[in-house]
Amino acid sequence: MDNSLIVTVSEFIDLLNQTLEFAYPSISIIGELSDFKISKNKWIYFDLKDDKAKARFFGTVYQLPGPLKDGLMLKVRAIPHVHPQYGFSLTVQHIALSGEGSIKQASDLLKAKLIAEGLFADERKRSLPYPPSRIGLITSVESAAYTDFLKIINQRWGGLEIILNNVQVQGEPAIEQIIQAISQFNQMAYPPEVLVITRGGGSVDDLQIFNHELVTRSIAGSRIPTLVAIGHEQDVSLAELAADQRASTPSNAAELLVPDKNSVIEQLKMTRQQMTTHLLHSLQMVQITVADYKKTLQTEISQHITQSHNYLHSRSEIIALLDPQAILKRGYAIIFRQKHTLRQISDFRKDDLINIQLNDGSLEATVNNVIKM
Amino acid sequence: MPKKEINYNVLSAELDKVLVKLQDPATSLDKAIELFKRGQAIIKELETYLSQAENVIRTLSRERPKTDQ
């Protein structure tokens, strides 16, 4: 007797899908990518395979972590499904790279693509305000990065407003959360002056979200300048390359963002000293100028006095030369007649009573004879 | 936050200008004294700010509308 269930083909497909949905509401499958195709720039089709089997996947380009090529190892979260016309496939929910080699290869592919677009070009880099007054911080409050960043920034500077957007910094949800956080800050009416996206070090797998194309593009597209600090020593992530500035660790991010207030206070003391020196110098300059004026004035006055003295001396010498008494001393005499000076022979007549003035006295005389030359 | 809202960058830039003018040999003594007094006041204000100002941390909720505040 045949006890098997009898159903139509459509019913069987529905039943199969219900069974699959119940058994595997979501499943992550690891395998090597093959036969990867993009259709109409929107749909993606690919197989994941291993040594013994392969499975077909279907999704959208928006789910791609970046450019992919056959041979890469992927971890794909998907929903198994049987299509009434096309048979079995897995509908993609999330694609991640699997294994360090594949992560590196995919990252290199994306890096080449973004470099060609000029996304990492130096010309795109903006300088960060130094120090900023408002910082948008995108990290996980549970991470050491959060604690380290705050510790250093609080040690170094004060008066900052730090707006935290608490996100996961690894795993699948981190991608959407970081993109959303960047977008949220950028849409604020009064946005922060700088965005800091940070996390501590981790495995290549942990850090692969910082090589995700959408995360990288979101950072590059931020209107607010960005500082990305991923605590690792090896390869620089694409997110860091897209940022306006990168820091090696969360602590280093804090150091790059703000000066050390103790150094600034020391610098202010030196500035105060410098100002005092400059003021004293100005005062000294004025004192020198005043002293110069004084000296010039003294020289001028002294010259005037000497000139006046010389003038008086020369005049007194002339006056001395013209003094009649000086002539008399040399043996000459002046002859008067009734107070009139007699200068030539025609002024004399015989028997005139004349007065002769000499250097040391005078005498009266009578003219006996007048002889003309 | 300090009680008096000051902008460090604005004051710091003003202090730089004061210093440049003070160094200029063409600046008169009267002006130099005025600049010196202003510079001293700025330094005092900055020192107070640096020694007293504290950082404020607030958390942005992802559930909130996209416009802030």
Query: What's A138's domain CATH number?
Result: 3.40.50.2300
Is A220 in the same domain as A130?
yes
Is A125 in the same domain as A258?
yes
For residues A254 and A284, what is the distance between their CA atoms, to the nearest angstrom? 45
For residues B1 and A370, what is the distance between their CA atoms, to the nearest angstrom? 127
The angle at the Cα of A218, spanning A213 to A223, to the nearest 5 degrees, equals 155
| Nearest CA distance, B31 vs chain A (angstrom) | 10
Cβ of A164 under 8 Å from any chain B Cβ? yes
Domain count, chain A: 3
Domain residue spans of chain B: 8-52
CB contact under 8 A, B60 and A163: yes
Is A128 in the same domain as A90?
no
Is A72 in the same domain as A125?
no
Q: pLDDT tens digits for chain A (373 residues)? A: 677 888 999 999 999 999 999 998 889 999 999 999 999 989 999 999 999 999 999 999 999 988 888 999 999 999 999 999 989 999 999 999 888 888 888 888 899 999 999 999 999 999 999 999 999 999 999 999 999 999 999 999 999 999 999 999 988 889 999 999 999 999 999 999 999 999 988 877 788 889 999 999 999 999 999 999 998 666 788 999 999 999 999 999 999 999 999 999 999 999 999 999 989 988 888 899 899 999 999 999 999 999 999 999 999 988 888 888 888 888 999 999 988 999 999 999 999 999 999 999 999 999 999 988 8
Is A125 in the same domain as A182?
yes
Which residue type occupies A159?
G
Would you say residue A358 lies in a domain? yes
Q: Write the CB contacts of A4 (distance below 8 Å, at least 6 apart in sequence).
A: none
Is A145 in the same domain as A18?
no
Tell me the CA distances in angstroms from A301 to A10, A291, A357, one per residue in order: 126, 15, 47
Is A127 in the same domain as A251?
yes
**Cβ distance A256 to A226 under 8 Å?**
no
Give residue A135's domain range: 117-262
Cβ of A263 under 8 Å from any chain B Cβ? no
CB contact under 8 A, A274 and B56: no
pLDDT at B3: 45
pLDDT at A217: 95
For residues A364 and A362, what is the distance between their CA atoms, to the nearest angstrom? 7
Would you say residue A68 lies in a domain? yes
User: What is the DSSP annotation of B29-45?
Assistant: HHHHHHHHHHHHHHHHH
Is A134 in the same domain as A251?
yes
pLDDT at A208: 83
Would you say residue A66 lies in a domain? yes
Is A147 in the same domain as A234?
yes
* Contacting residues of A for B48, CB less than 8 Å apart: none
pLDDT at B62: 65
Query: What's the whole-model pTM score?
Result: 0.71
At A289, list the tokens. 């100028």
Would you say residue A32 lies in a domain? yes
CB contact under 8 A, B33 and A164: no
Would you say residue A301 lies in a domain? no
Cβ burial of A33 (10 Å; 0-12, 13-18, 19+) is buried
Would you say residue A279 lies in a domain? no
> Of A262, A287, A312, which one is at a domain's C-terminal end?
A262
Would you say residue A240 lies in a domain? yes
ipTM value for the complex: 0.81
Would you say residue A283 lies in a domain? no
Tell me the CA distances in angstroms from A48 to A63, A91, A104, A106, B69, one per residue in order: 16, 13, 19, 16, 47
Between helix B29-52 and helix B8-23 the angle, nearest 10°, is 150
